[in-house]
Amino acid sequence: METSETIMHVSDLSISFGKNEVLQKISLDLHRNENLVVLGKSGSGKSVLIKSIIGLLKPDQGTIELFGETTKDIDETSMNRLRSRIGFLFQSNALYDSMSVRENMEFHLKRSINIIQEDEMEDLILQALQDVQLPHTINMMPAELSGGMRKRIALARALILKPEIVLYDEPTTGLDPITSREIIDLMVSMRQKYQTASIIITHDMYCVKKTADRILLLWEGKKYWEGNHETFEKVSDPIIRSFQQ
């Protein structure tokens, strides 16, 4: 991948919960239209990292820059403006069980800082569902959908406002191998269509192989290794080898 504009810069990020130092001076860059995969064992701080990026968690120290703007000490309105340029795919999908697919999508759009008219909202929802090949589910409830379909709907919601960055938190967890590959293929095609950059948290090495431009490995709260997939597969370090397949 050619070097391109840096749209996210994280410098010396540290976060602790009590005496537990979850992240220790983590630094990383994300470039436009780049996929950065973050690996690490459970509890290594991967999800904490992406939650801090969108302001759900406040760092103890360090800085986060999004689109050239430092997020430290900015007001909620300014943070929401930055969040509007970022999509987030939650591990649990985070669909509201009491709402139809349409209502789940509408709820997300109505909370956007952008003023969206009713007819535009309908067009956005239909396009997003078409992107994930599920337009027929628009009036269905989440309980009527399979696990893979719920993941697709959650992805459609994350992409509905055409974000410049998408944060994926374990996008294939809990899915069977065939459905996982379908979701990964969809992630690849949506990146190509909308030219998004992504940070992908995953343990799925097929997902890593298919999506990663770069890999960052967290170990005991620190950045342990960074490089491309081809190099990653050749490294003989025992910690890195424990993630290779």
pLDDT tens column, 10-66: 999 999 999 899 999 999 999 999 999 999 988 888 999 999 999 999 999 999 999
Instruction: Return the pLDDT at 3.
Output: 52
| Whether the Cβ atoms of residue 22 and residue 49 lie closer than 8 Å to each other | no
Q: Name, of 86-90, 111-115, 132-136, the range with top average pLDDT.
A: 132-136
| Whether the Cβ atoms of residue 33 and residue 213 lie closer than 8 Å to each other | no
Instruction: Return the pLDDT at 112.
Output: 79
Q: Name, of 72-81, 107-116, 194-203, the range with top average pLDDT.
A: 194-203
Q: Which two three-digit tokens encode residue 50?
A: 């992406």
> Could you give the CA distance from residue 111 to residue 97 in angstroms, rounded to a whole number?
18
Residue type, 243: F
How much of the chain is helix, strand and coil, in % rounded to 5?
40, 25, 35
The answer for residues whose C-beta is within 8 angstroms of residue 205's C-beta and 6 or more apart is 243, 244, 245
Percent share of the chain, pLDDT over 70: 98
Q: Say how many residues make up the chain.
A: 245
Instruction: Return the pLDDT at 224.
Output: 94
Mean pLDDT of the chain: 92
Q: Which two three-digit tokens encode residue 199?
A: 């940070």
> Could you give the CA distance from residue 45 to residue 189 in angstroms, rounded to a whole number?
28
Q: How many CB atoms lie within 10 A of CB 85?
A: 14
pTM of this structure: 0.92
Structural domains present in the chain: 6-85+163-241 (3.40.50.300), 100-162 (no CATH)
How does strand 35-39 pair with strand 197-201?
parallel
Strands (E), 133-192: 165-169
Instruction: Average the pLDDT over 152-172 and give the result.
Output: 94
> Could you give the CA distance from residue 125 to residue 101 in angstroms, rounded to a whole number?
9
> Could you give the CA distance from residue 174 to residue 20 in angstroms, rounded to a whole number?
28
Instruction: Average the pLDDT over 84-103 and give the result.
Output: 91
N-terminal to C-terminal alpha carbon distance within the chain: 24
- The mean-pLDDT minimum among 2-6, 52-56, 212-216 falls in 2-6
What are the pLDDT digits (tens) for 163-203?
Answer: 999 999 999 988 999 999 999 999 999 999 999 999 999 98
Instruction: Average the pLDDT over 210-217 and give the result.
Output: 96
